[in-house]
Amino acid sequence: MNLTNLNEINFLSASRRTRSLITVAMIIIFVTVLDSSTHTNNLQRVLNRGTLTILTIEGATTFYEKSGVCNGFEFLIANDFAKKLGVELEIKTKMNFEELTLALHAGEGDLIAANATQTALAQNLLYFSKPYHFVSEQLIYRRGNPKPGKITDLEGTMVLSNQPTFLVTKIKETQQDNPRLFLIDNPSLSNTDKMQMVHTNDYDYSIVDSLSFNMNRHIFHRLAVGIEISEKEPLSWGFLKDGDKSLLSVANLFIHDFITQSKIDDIKQKMFLNPDQFSTSNSQLLEKMENQRLPKYRHIFKKIANQRNFEWELLAAIAYQESHWDALATSPTGVRGLMMLTQDTAIEMKIQNRLDPLQSVLGGAKYLEKLITRLPKRVYHSDRIWLALAAYNFGLRNIEEAIAQTKTANKDPDLWVDVRSLLLHLNKNSRSHAGDAAYTNGKIAVKYVDSIQYYLNYLRLRSLLNGKKEPSTTRCLKLA
């Protein structure tokens, strides 16, 4: 077969789509390596066994699983890589970076994907891929306290964990001339652990990378960045330095395409969820309601979620958007209860008492389920949920029209991000609404979904923070 004459080659994929694409360049590299050696190389092993295994540490910036749904910055990128290879993705978590490198050398995984800088990977004698993101080290402190200006002026306690060697040396050198600063070094702490400790005033300062701060700042709303400690450093995947660069070469091609096609920007939008749209007061109110109201209804969300195959955090996020978890809430238009059901919806869903929390959550879940089933089955799990939520707010016929207009605009009608963009700029001649109404209501639907995504992400991260971390092996069926 003359591979150079092909534009693309399809491989059967067991992940998001039934088919996935591998570029000609990838295949040429694969074939070239095959021809030059009689032994099975790293890329061949992955393709032969049908599984790509990544090694990582559990966390929001890496990988986590809640209620059967997988998420995390590294996971979403690696999952797309596995899809491009036409293989399943297996995730193995370890407790720290030292365990990751030991596991890689022991053959437990194919690569390390753990928000590692190229400096850290080089220190551990690993090959590193092209960068896919850049991070800096930031000194964080608690809002309300004086903003630190220089490290030499710090007073109080600073908790450190797994910081780059040069940074620890720099801080310790500073401490020699500053007896008012006390350092606590605990290698077992994650970035979120350190952020929580400063958030709750257990310590005055810590140092975390900018990715961790941006991803978690809405659940730690009392934190702020005081000092940029380092220049931005590239994040990369780590590969065994065994002379075999077959998998690394394909990974580099993938990362290049992933960035040039703006897919990395889509993941950033999904993970960061524009926290600037939500003020500190929004986060404070959410935290207050989480502590005061959510405990009363958490068991109901979990029960109905288990029955209807949803994340409990999703149902809770919808209820917070609808009623702020007020079971007796009633609007001037007559919608009532935790999920703010209309009388017509309650009758359709066979709900007798909208003010009964269990019935309200059940009615909302059944109605969302109905909307999801009305959408094309080819649409991926998470996109179906966001489209269904938009229909929950804007009406199914209006969302179907928006999907049609998205296709007409040569965008992907199966992706919420593309339909979302269309809703923000609805045609003034929309058949379902006249004039500015279509534009206004489209924006309201987007704001509705954005808010639920924000609350969902908050609840997921809070669940992750309160959960027990243990090494694990996972294959995901659902993606966030």
Just list the catalytic residues. Answer: 322
Tell me how crowded residue 44 is: count the other CB atoms within 10 A of its CB.
Answer: 17
- Phi/psi at 180 (nearest 5 deg)? -85, -5
- Which amino acid is it at 143? R
* DSSP single-letter state for residue 148: P
| CA–CA distance, 304 with 290 (Å, rounded to integer) | 19
Residue 234 in tokens: 């590239």
Structural contact between residues 423 and 390, judged by C-beta atoms closer than 8 angstroms? yes
Task: Say which residue the tokens 């490290």 belong to.
Answer: 151
Residue 82 in tokens: 């596995």
| CA–CA distance, 4 with 26 (Å, rounded to integer) | 11
| CA–CA distance, 192 with 140 (Å, rounded to integer) | 12
Pairing of strands 181-185, 156-160: parallel
In 261-311, which residue ranges form alpha helices assigned H by DSSP? 263-272, 280-292, 294-308
Q: Which residues contact 421 (CB under 8 A, 6 or more apart)?
A: 406, 411
The 10 Å CB-count burial string (b at 16+, else e) for 464-479 is bbeeeeeeeebebeeb
Structural contact between residues 85 and 30, judged by C-beta atoms closer than 8 angstroms? no
Residue 213 in tokens: 């701060």
Residue 218 in tokens: 């809405």
